[in-house]
Amino acid sequence: MECPKCKRGTLVKAHEDIVVEGIKLAERLEVEKCNRCGEEVLTVGQASKLRAAAEEAGIWGHEIRLRRKVSKIGKKSALYIPVDVERMLGLTHGREVEIRIIGKRMVVEAEE
Ligand SMILES: [Zn+2]
C-alpha cells in the first residue's frame, strides 16, 4: 500500500515501541511503516488503545499547539490536519467531527 504521507514509499509490517513524552505506551506494536519516510500508520483500534494507555499514563489531554496557514480548496478555506494528529484522534476519512466556536477559538472534536 502507498504511504499516505510521502506518497512514494510502500507500507510494510514493522514492530515498533510507541513512546510519547518519554513514556512507552506500547511495546513491539505491529504497525504498517513506510519504507521510505518512516511514517507509521495505525488502525483505528490501535489508535484507541494508545489513547487509553496515554490516559492511564496521565499524558492524554496535554495541550498540543500547532501553527497552520489557511489554505484554499476551490473557493473554500481549508486547514490541513497533520498526520500525527489524524492518527492520535483516529480521524479516518469520512469520520464526523464536531466544530465549536468559542470567541476566537475553533475546537474540532472527534466524536466517540
Ligand atoms: Zn512515506
DSSP state of 82: P
Look-up of cell digits 514492530: 15
Query: What integer pLDDT is reported at residue 13 of this predicted model?
Result: 94
Query: What integer pLDDT is reported at residue 83 of this predicted model?
Result: 74
Q: What is the pLDDT of residues 57-107, one digit of tens each?
A: 887 777 767 778 899 999 999 888 877 778 777 888 888 899 999 998 888
Please tell me whether the overall predicted TM-score, pTM, comes out greater than 0.75 for this model.
no
Q: Which residues 6+ apart lie within 8 Å of 99 measured at CB?
A: 106, 107, 108, 109
**For residue 11, how far is its CA from the centre of ligand 1 (angstroms)?**
8
**For residue 60, how far is its CA from the centre of ligand 1 (angstroms)?**
26
**For residue 66, how far is its CA from the centre of ligand 1 (angstroms)?**
22
Beta strand segments in the chain, E: 11-20, 23-34, 40-41, 71-73, 76-78, 97-102, 105-110
**For residue 32, how far is its CA from the centre of ligand 1 (angstroms)?**
11
**For residue 58, how far is its CA from the centre of ligand 1 (angstroms)?**
30
CA distance 24 to 29: 11
Domain ranges, ordered by start, for the chain: 11-110
Q: What is the pLDDT of residues 25-57, one digit of tens each?
A: 889 989 899 999 888 888 888 888 888 888 888
